[in-house]
Each structure stands twice: as structure tokens, then as C-alpha cells.
Structure 1
Amino acid sequence: MATLQDYSNAIVDAIKKKLNKPDLQVKLIPVTSQNRIPLLQNGTYDFECGSTTNNLERQKQAAFSDTIFVVGTRLLVKKGGAIKDFPDLKDKAVVVTSGTTSEILLHKLNDEKKMNMRIISAKDHGDSFRTLESGRAVAFMMDDALLAGRTCESEKTG
């Protein structure tokens, strides 16, 4: 199964070929949900192969390629727990990764539906997942593809 890194490498190889620069040097730069757009805007890196959501707000900040992958927002919860659907989150702690579209959506839904959730904004997806695993939150809200990967890593969720 191909990984995101495999796709990134294939894109780099295609760029080298198109530019006829087989020795073009590539520097991989780790980015977070919080800094990926600012670092692109200030020229720290030239393009990202990642999970950045292409929406109207972000299109004002950066250019996007054609859409190649579509995801939906889902909840990851512990197996056997009481959370079955969004209304079950009323008055509960929910974790989301800071700087993501899921964070914006969760705050919006919490306000609109008067859910009284305690929203925990974690620094990255790993921290969000650990918050769920430790029981500090009853659900982790994020893109379904990212949650599926995390689910494979743990027998405590499903």
C-alpha cells in the first residue's frame, strides 16, 4: 500500500523530469496544522503533500492542485463506549487537532446546537489520539482517513 511519502516522492520525481533537473535537491520540511499555510506563504517550502483541506477560506491563502482525494469528518471513540452519534457528545469532552477545519466545524456545531461540549484543541493528531486513549476525551473529531489510520494503531478504538 502506498503511503503519503510515496506519493510525495512520485510528485518530486515528476517535477525533476518535467524540469529536466534530475539532480534537483529536495528538502523535506515537517509542518503542522498550525504552521503549514504561514510557512508556505513565507517561502519556507514550495508545496505540501499532506492533508490540508481545500476550501474557499484556504484558497484565499494558497493555491491548490486539482482535488485528488475527498474525505469526510467523523468521530473516533473507544470501543464499547456510549457515544454512537453526534448528539451523544452533549456535555462531554471532545478532542480535535488545533488549526484544522475539524476544529472550526466542531466549535460551530457546539455553538449552533448548544451542545455544551468541552472542546480540547490538541497540538497535533498524535496528541489528539492520546487524549482520547487516556480517557480525557470521549471522542476525537477529524477527517475519516486520518482516523482510520489511527484506528489501525490501537485496539482500544473502533
Structure 2
Amino acid sequence: MKRSTALLFPVLAASILLGCGNSEAPKQASKEASAEPAKEAAPSAGYLDKIKARDKLVVGVFSDKPPFGFVDEHGTYVGFDTDIAKRLAKDLLGDESKVEFVVVEPASRIPFLQSDKVDLILANMTVTPERAEAVEFTNPNLRVAVQAIVADGSSVKKLDDLADKTTIVTTGTTADIWLTKNHPDWKLLKFEKNSESLQALANGRGDAYAQDNLVLFSWAKQNPGYRVLADKLGSEAPIAPAVKKGNIELRDWVNVELSKLGEEQFLLKLYDQYVRAQLADGTDPKSVIVEGGKWEG
């Protein structure tokens, strides 16, 4: 099904975004940064003092992945992940505006931690054994499965039907990694940005797009004419914030924060603000959020 290039990834309704405070303007991450070599692991002691001395928490976020990290109609970076970052800045530095957002792409999340461009990644990163070797994951805040979306008129009914098709993926995502490992003979069309991948799907450049199912459910609801395949690419997995390998102090502090936020159901409030309207009616919030960092697989 060919779709117009005008079919862009939607911005959430302005009414949902009222009350979201502005933060310091984010810096756009350069593509070259992802190629930089990793530096030595961050020392675990004194890192919180370093952030306090700087008087700013630097967080890597997405700019094109509603409802988690995106730009609203005012040019402000908002979403489920960015609001968590603001709350962390408030609890650590006394002011939610003391956060600097650095835009990352899926493939640059780990390199940006390794090269000290950010203190923390809050960019919808699924926990995998391979990534856990490169970064320190905190306790999880979300759960996700990877699926694929196709046009309603597509002949594709199940995942195996994509064997002789073109599947769009965003470089560095769990979908990209899983398909490359488990179906190396499949044709993958890769883009750096989630928005570019979805635009390619809308333009008919591929037969399917594989991504986190929360993103696909949201996009399908906003763009009638698409359906999400029932098959999952691998099993359900946790999503968690991440810090540089060896930065135990910051990791443990975030874990304590997630536990405290769980006591006030903070993630449920963000779910109601950003996520609930994007999913099917009756979706159980516990199937999406992990309150208090307590994962139950």
C-alpha cells in the first residue's frame, strides 16, 4: 500500500501536553559520535558530586519516538522518558529544569555513555545480555515485546511470511539485532531514525516495520490502514535506564529513585498522561509499566 509522504509520525494532542515544563534546549547528537572508541569505565565513587558541581543532569533521549521521547508543537522535548529525567533532576538538584537533553539514536545510545556525552540514557532501551556487557542497566521501568506492522491489504499474515519480503528496521534497535541474528538471509531496509523508518513504511518502501510493539500500537491507532502481526520477535523483555559501565553509584541512586517513585505510582501517572490514549481500550497498565523497578517476568 503506497502512502503519501505527508503521513508523518503524529504529535500527541496539545491538551495532553499542557503543564509540561520546558527544560534546557537539547543538543543534537552528531552521527560521528557513535563511531568514537569507548573510554575507560566511569569511577563509581563521587559521580553524584560531579553532577551536583555541574548543577545539571545530562540525559540522552529520543526526539522522534512518541509517547516516550518526542518534540511537541512548541519545540519542547516531552514524553514518558523525558518526564522521568526531569523528576530525577528535581530530586537530585532541586529543580526539574536542571536537565540537559541530548538527542540520541538507537545505535548511539551506548557510545554516548561510553564517551561521557551523557550521564544517563532514558531512551527506551531494551535490556539484553549483549548490552548489559557494555553498560550498567538500572532496574526496569517498562516491559516490551518486538513485533511487526504491515498494511491492512498486505498478504503477510505471520512473521514467517516476511522471509521473501523487505522488512524495515531502525539501526541498533532490538528488532534490528534480533532479525540480523535469527534471520540473516532476510532483506532488511535500515534507517537511523524511527521517524525515517515509519515514513518509509508509509511510502511503501518496505512490506513491514519491526519495532517495539508499544510504538507500533500507537502508530497503528493514529494511522488507520495498518495492523500489528501477532507473532513476537523473541520474548517479552524489560526496558531500563542505563549508565556507563562501572558507574555503580549513579546506577544505585537511580534504583533507589525508581523505588521511591513506585510508592507514589509516578509511572502510572505518566502512563495516564502519555501512553494510555495510544493503546487499545482496556490495556492493563501493568502489561506496559514496571512500577518501583520490580520486574515480574
TM-score, normalised via structure 1 length: 0.85
Query: Following TM superposition, by how much is the alpha carbon of 1:11 offset from its aligned partner in structure 2, in angstroms?
Result: 4.2
Determine the structure 1 residue equivalent to 2:241. Answer: none
Question: Match for residue 121 of structure 1?
Answer: 190
**What CA deviation, in whole Å up to 9, does each residue of 1:70-124 have, x standing for no partner?**
111101000121111012112111111111121111122323xxxx432111111
* Structure 2 unmatched runs, 5+: 1-15, 18-66, 69-78, 228-297
Structure 1 position 28 matched with structure 2 position 101:
yes
* Separation in 2, partners of 1:119, 1:157: 19
Equivalent of 1:51 in 114, 124, 129: 124
Q: Report the count of equivalent residues.
A: 153
Q: Does structure 2 retain, via aligned residues, the 8 Å contact 1:133–1:156?
A: no
- Alpha-carbon distance in 2 for matches of 1:151, 1:90: 23
Letter in 1 for 2:155: A
Report SS of the residue matched to 2:137. Answer: coil
In the other structure, the counterpart of 1:157 is 226
1:78 aligns with 2:147: no
Residues 86-125 of structure 1 correspond to what in structure 2 (within 5 A)? 86-111=159-184, 116-125=185-194
User: 1:15: Cα distance to partner?
Assistant: 4.2
- Partners in 2 of 1:124 and 1:156 — Cα distance? 22
Which AA in structure 2 matches 1:50?
A: A
Could you say which structure has the higher strand fraction? Answer: 2
Taking the aligned partners of 2:85 and 2:146, their CA distance within structure 1 comes to 27
CA distance in 2, matches of 1:108, 1:76: 20
Which of 35, 41, 46 matches 2:114? Answer: 41
One-letter code aligned to 1:29:
V
- 2:133 is matched by which residue type in structure 1? K
How many percent of aligned residue pairs carry the same amino acid? 24
RMSD of Structure 2 on Structure 1 (CA) = 2.2
Secondary structure of 1:29's counterpart equals strand
Say if 2:169 and 2:209, in contact at 8 Å, map to a contact too: yes
Once superposed, which parts of structure 1, at least 4 consecutive aligned residues long, lie more than 4 Å away?
none
Q: Match for residue 200 of structure 2?
A: 131
Alpha carbons of structure 1 residues 104 and 21: separation in structure 2 relative to 1, 3 Å: same
**Which letter maps to 1:108?**
K
Distance 2:96 2:173 in 1: 35
2:160 partner SS: helix
Alignment partner, residue 9 of structure 1: 83
Amino acid of the structure 1 residue aligned with 2:140: T
Question: Residue 77 of structure 1 contacts residue 139 of structure 1 at CA under 8 Å; is this kept in 2?
Answer: yes
Q: Which runs of 5+ in 1 are unaligned?
A: none
> In structure 2, what is the Cα distance between the partners aligned to 1:87 and 1:7?
33
Q: Residue type of the partner of 2:134?
A: Q
For residues 133 and 23 of structure 1, the distance between their equivalents in structure 2, rounded to whole angstroms, comes to: 37
Could you tell me which residue of structure 1 aligns to residue 49 of structure 2? none
Deviation digits for residues 119-141 of structure 1 (CA, Å, limit 9, x no counterpart): 11111111111221211111101
Partner of 2:48: none
TM-score (norm 2): 0.47
